[in-house]
Amino acid sequence: MTGRERILKTLRFEEPDRPPHFETMFELEHEAFGLRFPKREAWADCTAARKREMISRCMDIYERIVETYQWDALPVYWPWSDPDGVRAARERFGSRVLIGSIVGGTVWAIEAVQDWMQFAVDLAEHPRAVHAVARRKRDAALQRIDRLADAGAEFILLVNDVAGNGGTFISPDHMREFVLPYLGEEIRHILDRGLFPFIHTDGNIMGILDEWIALGAACYQSVDPMAGMDIAAVKRRCHGKLALMGNVQCSLLQDGPREAIRESARYCLTHGAPGGGYIFGTSNTIFAGMPLKNYEYMLEVYREHNAA
């Protein structure tokens, strides 16, 4: 079974030969392979020839990641939201893995707010202005989605942190007015283009979980355990409607101990994998500074589970 087939099977809530695995980003390429992705600022205003060279370097690193860590899908994160990167990945990987891209900043979210006092005032006194910004974000997102779809992306991961440990960043009622309708439009557009919509947020969204499920996305990534998101409880409500990805606690992958990493990984696999609809992974990303040995230990637990 190819990685792509494995992902598609689990998104249909069927059990593949093993739970699929990938991460939204892997930023330990130097520690793992002695290689480095081009710096973020290098993509701005580079020549076409230089861009092709940098994309080729990214594909070499992605190939190492996919082969070494047995990823079943690849969200092309460098270059960011770029059709050229998606085209190169489709050419390099063919149908071995599901190829997608990441689109951020598509709705009002924590990272979109610069002045919290003014934002609070605007929510109460200037809702039309808040909606106007939301529409601009949506329209820009739809344009990016179309370019990525035309390039051959098979899934789009929409990344917007709309919650913290205590709940959504604005009240559930405000979420229903200013955030969820626009996110729903983006998801429907992705579906209309024949792609799989994945959605990400950190934090605790239990207060809007029913609405989150009703958005119609294919998969929800993070399922943040540090915010109290219990994958067993979430899966009981989501199964058959919204697949889940993640939930291995990133703070444990940062700091350990190994036994806690084992416990978190085993809990996710035990409660997430049965019946399909679960992609094994961390609650965020493999970020710079995380000890590589801890990610590799998480995968050791994963392999033990698959062999059992």
191-205: per-residue pLDDT in tens? Answer: 999 999 999 999 999
Q: Which amino acid is at 157?
A: L
CA distance 305 to 300: 9
Q: At what angle do helices 127-150 and 116-125 cross, to 10 degrees?
A: 110
Q: What is the mean pLDDT of the chain?
A: 97
Question: Is 277 strand, coil or helix?
Answer: coil
68-78: per-residue pLDDT in tens? Answer: 999 999 999 99
The domain limits of the chain are 3-26+69-307
Q: Which runs of E-coded beta strand occur in the chain?
A: 73-76, 98-104, 155-159, 163-164, 167-168, 196-200, 219-222, 243-246, 278-279
Average pLDDT over residues 12-17: 97
pLDDT > 90? residue 29: yes
In this prediction the pTM is 0.97
Topology (CATH) of 3-26+69-307: TIM Barrel (3.20.20)
Our measurement of the distance from residue 243's CA atom to the centroid of its chain's CA atoms, rounded to an integer in Å, reads 12
pLDDT > 90? residue 208: yes
What are the DSSP calls for 128-162, one per residue? HHHHHHHHHHHHHHHHHHHHHHHTT-SEEEEE---
pLDDT > 90? residue 158: yes
Our measurement of the distance from residue 15's CA atom to the centroid of its chain's CA atoms, rounded to an integer in Å, reads 21
Our measurement of the distance from residue 198's CA atom to the centroid of its chain's CA atoms, rounded to an integer in Å, reads 6
